[in-house]
Structure 1
């Protein structure tokens, strides 16, 4: 049977001849066409109306929606079918057709699209409302609900497939439910880099990184900053400088008196040099020689430089306090007693990221837990562990501690496990929603809707109690020196006063004993 020239011309305009002519009913044809189910198909061998109905039912079972049948007993008519909301045969006259292959998913008439969340925070979050009914939140929830509305369909959540207690659904279970057609489109995204078959996924929805979230290094105590200017070596350098200046001044004074050089310079160290380093006044000879002038000039210049260096470092460290050595390797983790917390679901990606040898060598700094415990501890978060996070999870952690003086965690650039992680929705390779979902993904990303749902989900999670935003703390930023900051100075001053009193008491005792001995001799 030949197609009328008018039909050929209109098909050329509508499809550009991108069609397949199915000339006979064979089981091999169904196998070949199932892989390209979205391709328009024309059947020219529809010789009975009962055969047409059976043909279309087979097409629907094999997810082939774009099918036309030309009847041999009625050349002026074409047959097609409407899959949603119920199976219906459509008979049209060739002379009245405006579009041969009408989109089946344009209006599904409330047909249910079955989905299932994977319970990965913050993409999909299962919770109970005030009436005790299970509800779904997260930005993928908004994504799926709006997708169903664009197709005039109903989103049906398969609650009995979702585990409770914050447990993450395993990816193998998701793929099994997709292949058995229990779930049409799962409300989850997966790393397509771990699966070589890209046909089982939609367009890429997110491009992220997989990094470690490590505890922020603690600040050095302000009392130590005030005492040493942020560096213990600075005290050592100052003492060495004082000894050199005292030795120089003592020997210059001895040379002025015509005496030989000496290394005993305790007197010069405690009086003029110590006063100069502490930026205090000191007494100078009335008419010093040139050598003494040069020596005192060196002492004053050293005093000026050391004092201003100390003040500059102190002011800088009080505004931006120094922290302890950062965590940049597995050895640093062992030094501070830190462990990486992860789940069985993360183990394949971890093996791909760092390799089996590195993981086995550093297994002592890893701890394996179930997904519910992992998500609970990461949302707190517990600073006793480091956690692998993506770029979608990390902003939620940042927002939680936005009002705090210092966030307890930071995103480590030294532990970038995967620098490129493309996420997409897993689908069956013959899914009827492939083209509609891909188009919808592109539109939501181009319009900014996807980013809007992502930002809005944070406030939704706040409202249902799945996320909290910590309040402002009472920490005084850039505060002046406090009495407690001078703790070591007060301690040193007290020790020196006590030592002076002991020496004074010893001198009084010695004088008293000497007087008693003298009286006895008399």
Structure 2
């Protein structure tokens, strides 16, 4: 039995050697050593911990076992799954057409990785560079079979007249370069939504060219200058909404979209850049109108303060009654509630001071005078302040208050669709009758920017900053930003980018640097002044303030006159009641 097992093992080994001959026997030792040394040097320049080898039976297979890194062999030229290995990967190809990846996520993850390709003598390096440029893979280097003798590496250079460069290892020139650091005035295709203050068109007075400005447009314009590229903006006249721009980005018609890609949009994250701004998405509500002057008198009388004053009045009345004769003989409900001295004292009026007052009574008078000074000063300050600047009416605190205050929320059909798709819980609290949906989103934006008081609106935090700046020149602000009624407080804003944009990493680094330097904050802070300079927003008071009334009219004191009339009627009633009681007592005494 043992001999049978040994015989089978020998047979299996013989068949394995027949089907899988030793690769190292096929390659020349000198070429292997040269390529191995090259990979070691490349690992020192930029570390990699994984080798990804495409193709069958070439010199790369034999030298991979000499490197202390993980090796993945893909003989069929593609992986039918998303790449989940380390991003520190070096890609080796046995021939120019060995790599045949087709999975989008894998292509995106491996797009920037360095590639070393083994080509035959009849393959021209320029054709290889062109083939990989179609796949937007640019970190390409090639070696031939005579590398051990020539020590020459062919590196692709895409923005130069010569599409590749011969590099000798004896030279100190880099093999792999960041190609897009200098794009040599190549165009970047963009499209702007032309929504102020994100992107605005203007004509340069010096050159006569139509240019873009705004905090989003400036971000991309600076990026183009940084890469020595140009912006190809098409078309420049028409406004476009986010969906139109995103569709062109997804279909690779645009490199970038100068618009807002937010977490509310149900769009693939592959087409979104690194977030460059965090903002909110809240309601822009009308400031309630000022209360009329005739209601100011009601506002200054707080029920709690009035109750404390009445209690103090009763206590002082009781102390005055007891302090005069040191007895409770005159204590009655009428003497407490209708105490003339206590009433006039609290109102700050003069009252008779009895002669030969004892110490207790003088102490009560001091308390009464001190209380009258506090109360009259407080109410006089309230009255003058409210007459100078009357308080506003009740504010909207919940989504249900729209019905109670008979206000409407203007919203675009696009926003309704987005909020319904993400199933926003706050939006579901709004009643359908409280919404006015505009199919024409430009009309809704125009009403909001003109401060139309027929509606309230939805606005992002970044747009509100310019609206608030505009309202500083108003005599009376018209709208306020409600931090209590927000559909989301964490709204990440990004730039739409096409999936396989080869300089995505440079743009995201640019976003971080612009924010770090404070340029985005500076552009946002000057948005309103840019809109005024370009004639988009008028520098005028749109609040339509009412004419200033120099004096108080009869209507302003109507409530006081009503209170006075009620008090006079009550006094007359008490006087007549007193006369009636006195006459009834006399008749009763006469009859007795």
Q: TM-score higher than 0.5 here?
A: yes
Structure 1 counterpart of 2:524: 454
Deviation string for 1:173-200 (max 9, x for gaps)?
A: 2232123322112222311464585443
Asked if the contact 1:228–1:234 (Cα under 8 Å) also holds between the matched residues in 2, the reply is: no
Structure 1 residue corresponding to 2:171, chosen from 89, 96, 101: 96
Structure 1 residue corresponding to 2:455, chosen from 382, 385, 399: 385
Asked if the contact 2:400–2:430 (Cα under 8 Å) also holds between the matched residues in 1, the reply is: no
Whether 1:323 aligns to 2:392 is yes
Structure 2 counterpart of 1:215: 286
In 1, the alpha carbon distance for the partners of 2:558 and 2:314 equals 24
Structure 1 residue corresponding to 2:189, chosen from 89, 109, 114: 114
Structure 1 counterpart of 2:251: 180
| Corresponding residue SS for 1:37 | coil
Whether 1:466 aligns to 2:540 is no
Q: Where do 1:122-201 residues align within 5 Å?
A: 122-126=197-201, 135-159=211-235, 163-164=238-239, 168-171=240-243, 173-192=244-263, 194=265, 197-201=268-272
Structure 2 residue corresponding to 1:47, chosen from 121, 138, 154: 121
**How many residue pairs were aligned?**
484
| Corresponding residue SS for 1:432 | coil
Larger-gyration structure (1/2):
2
CA pair 455-240 structure 1, distance change in 2 beyond 3 A: closer
Deviation string for 1:374-414 (max 9, x for gaps)?
A: 22122222233222222211110111012335422222121
Q: Where do 1:368-407 residues align within 5 Å?
A: 368-369=437-438, 370-407=440-477
Asked if the contact 2:271–2:498 (Cα under 8 Å) also holds between the matched residues in 1, the reply is: yes
Whether 1:336 aligns to 2:409 is no
Asked if the contact 1:34–1:63 (Cα under 8 Å) also holds between the matched residues in 2, the reply is: no
TM-aligned CA deviation for residue 39 of structure 1: 0.8
Asked if the contact 1:400–1:468 (Cα under 8 Å) also holds between the matched residues in 2, the reply is: no
| Corresponding residue SS for 1:29 | coil
TM-aligned CA deviation for residue 115 of structure 1: 0.7
Whether 1:345 aligns to 2:417 is no
In 2, the alpha carbon distance for the partners of 1:399 and 1:10 equals 58
In 2, the alpha carbon distance for the partners of 1:135 and 1:485 equals 59
TM-aligned CA deviation for residue 416 of structure 1: 2.1
* Structure 2 unmatched runs, 5+: 1-26, 49-88, 573-592
Asked if the contact 2:249–2:271 (Cα under 8 Å) also holds between the matched residues in 1, the reply is: no
Asked if the contact 1:249–1:268 (Cα under 8 Å) also holds between the matched residues in 2, the reply is: no
CA pair 288-332 structure 1, distance change in 2 beyond 3 A: same
CA pair 67-246 structure 1, distance change in 2 beyond 3 A: closer
Highest relative contact order (Cα 8 Å, sep 6+), 1 or 2? Answer: 1
In 2, the alpha carbon distance for the partners of 1:446 and 1:45 equals 45
Structure 1 residue corresponding to 2:514, chosen from 441, 444, 448: 444
CA pair 192-22 structure 1, distance change in 2 beyond 3 A: farther
Asked if the contact 1:445–1:451 (Cα under 8 Å) also holds between the matched residues in 2, the reply is: yes
TM-aligned CA deviation for residue 232 of structure 1: 6.9
Deviation string for 1:79-132 (max 9, x for gaps)?
A: 233222667233333433510012211221111111111233321124678999
CA pair 107-284 structure 1, distance change in 2 beyond 3 A: closer
Structure 1 counterpart of 2:485: 415
Structure 2 residue corresponding to 1:10, chosen from 38, 41, 45: 41
In 2, the alpha carbon distance for the partners of 1:482 and 1:295 equals 41
Deviation string for 1:462-518 (max 9, x for gaps)?
A: 11111244469999xxx9x9645994179739987xx99xx9xxxxxxxxxxxxxxx
CA pair 430-235 structure 1, distance change in 2 beyond 3 A: closer
In 1, the alpha carbon distance for the partners of 2:521 and 2:347 equals 59
Asked if the contact 2:266–2:421 (Cα under 8 Å) also holds between the matched residues in 1, the reply is: no
TM-aligned CA deviation for residue 217 of structure 1: 3.0
Structure 1 counterpart of 2:157: 82
CA pair 241-384 structure 1, distance change in 2 beyond 3 A: farther
Structure 1 counterpart of 2:12: none
Whether 1:62 aligns to 2:131 is no
Asked if the contact 1:192–1:198 (Cα under 8 Å) also holds between the matched residues in 2, the reply is: no
Asked if the contact 1:333–1:339 (Cα under 8 Å) also holds between the matched residues in 2, the reply is: yes
CA pair 262-447 structure 1, distance change in 2 beyond 3 A: closer
TM-aligned CA deviation for residue 453 of structure 1: 3.0
Whether 1:31 aligns to 2:102 is yes
CA pair 492-239 structure 1, distance change in 2 beyond 3 A: farther
Whether 1:359 aligns to 2:428 is yes
Asked if the contact 1:223–1:486 (Cα under 8 Å) also holds between the matched residues in 2, the reply is: yes
CA pair 489-382 structure 1, distance change in 2 beyond 3 A: closer
Please give the TM-score of this superposition, normalised by the length of structure 1.
0.76
RMSD of aligned Cα (Å): 4.5
In 2, the alpha carbon distance for the partners of 1:116 and 1:349 equals 22
In 2, the alpha carbon distance for the partners of 1:239 and 1:485 equals 29
Moved more, 312-321 or 37-46: 312-321
Q: Where do 1:231-246 residues align within 5 Å?
A: 231=301, 233=303
| Corresponding residue SS for 1:441 | helix
